[in-house]
Amino acid sequence: MGEPWTVVRHIPARDETLTIFWIHPHFSVYNEVWVAIRARLGRPLDACWWCHKHFAIGDRIGLIAVKNKTNKVLCQPCVAGLSPTHEAQA
Ligand SMILES: [Zn+2]
């Protein structure tokens, strides 16, 4: 048998259709308290799930419930972009 070896297989990008239950536009604010709590929980949640943009201190954090996934955090442009009306809800 010998030693194992590695090869690289390219996985093509694919589109995934998601079902959204709700979006909470202003779930929280990215601040020192958020950072401390998330660090304690071992999940930093310091970037938008959708666009991967890193939050800045003071940014509002949205929360989205997606079918078959744990709830995810969103930046405000993505809150607006993913909402059914394509506008952030108050
Ligand atoms: Zn985003």
With 0.85 as the threshold, say if the pTM is over it.
no
Does position 85 have pLDDT exceeding 90, yes or no?
A: no
CA of 8 to the centre of ligand 1 (A): 30
CA of 12 to the centre of ligand 1 (A): 23
Q: How many residues in the chain? A: 90
Q: What pLDDT digit, counting tens, does each position of 74-84 carry?
A: 999 999 999 98
- What does residue 16 show for φ and ψ, rounded to 5 degrees? -125, 130
How far are the Cα atoms of 19, 61, 76, 86 from residue 15, in angstroms, in the given order? 13, 25, 23, 20
CA of 33 to the centre of ligand 1 (A): 21
Write the DSSP symbol of residue 6: -
What integer pLDDT is reported at residue 90 of this predicted model? 47
Q: What pLDDT digit, counting tens, does each position of 14-67 carry?
A: 898 999 999 999 999 999 999 999 999 999 999 999 999 999 999 999 999 999
Residue 9, C-beta contacts closer than 8 angstroms, at least 6 positions apart = none
Does position 69 have pLDDT exceeding 90, yes or no?
A: yes
